[in-house]
Chain A
């Protein structure tokens, strides 16, 4: 299945012999592009009839073009212009990149008979497919995210070294200044992936169908209790 192939859409004509091609069209997106290609032929029993297909790009399978452009502009000098077809091409490249990496990561999961594609699988796939330069900054990014998630799950107002403001949420203020307190060597982030996953996935796990993996049920528990056997602020008491 090729995610990026243009979808063929024919006008519906009940009197004609042309088969009706049906696709989903995302009409909410103001960026939807319409390319009319008058040369394509429809396969019909009546060989003389020609279709006039409209090829519509499905915006759902791409990153929003505004976001893509914003990232491009960070690199380009201010006087640079970007043609529309270049923007679309980069959009397509990003989706292809995600599919490419995910395919490899998923294959590894299947080989190891695991059901969930994890962040580690994604990072592994990137390394394997030649994107080594990305792996380190992404690992740093992921670790910072996990630290922040742990802070959110474990923090209590009375234990905060910095008193900012009170929030109504039960996990306390998250206006934590940079430079989290140094955790002791026993901090489980690196050493206990099982325990770690439960809280790291507090943000929710995406899954298909009715398969209820063990980790999905523990994620809600992790929200409330955090890491029951570990108190990262013990040193501040």
Chain B
């Protein structure tokens, strides 16, 4: 039976296991990040897969601290929001909150209309 080496199992794109986040999905999100993203090297999604792990761990840790402060055991969205509001480098996430609290704001929705 074939055994994956410690590196190949970890780094091969598309495999589950130690490689936690799907590279194809990362690549898709990268491409959508701007109209002018041309080519993406094969390594960039790999760096992101690890970076997103670190990011999720970081944000989760901070959010959980807020939960604990409130003496609760369930991590809520408000805890996540408090966590990133309190952290400078997470300022870019503020736009997520303003979108969700303002459901009538349709200006950022990309839509196609048919004119009959």
Contact = CB atoms under 8 A, between A and B. Distances in A.
A208 B27 CA distance: 11
A117 B41 contact: yes
A120 to B, nearest CB: 9
Interface residues of B, number: 79
Given A115-B38, A206-B39, A72 B99 contact: no
A85 B93 contact: no
A83 B2 contact: no
Interface string B25-38: 11111111111111
Contacts of B104: 39-41
A71 B57 contact: yes
B111 interface: yes
Contacts of B10: 148
A206 B40 CA distance: 5
A68 interface: yes
B3 A93 contact: no
Interface of B: 2-8, 10-11, 13, 20-22, 25-48, 50-57, 59-61, 63-64, 67, 73-77, 79-81, 84, 88-90, 92-93, 95-96, 99, 103-104, 106, 108-115
11 contacts: A61-B29, A75-B60, A80-B64, A90-B56, A96-B96, A97-B52, A102-B33, A116-B39, A118-B41, A148-B10, A175-B3
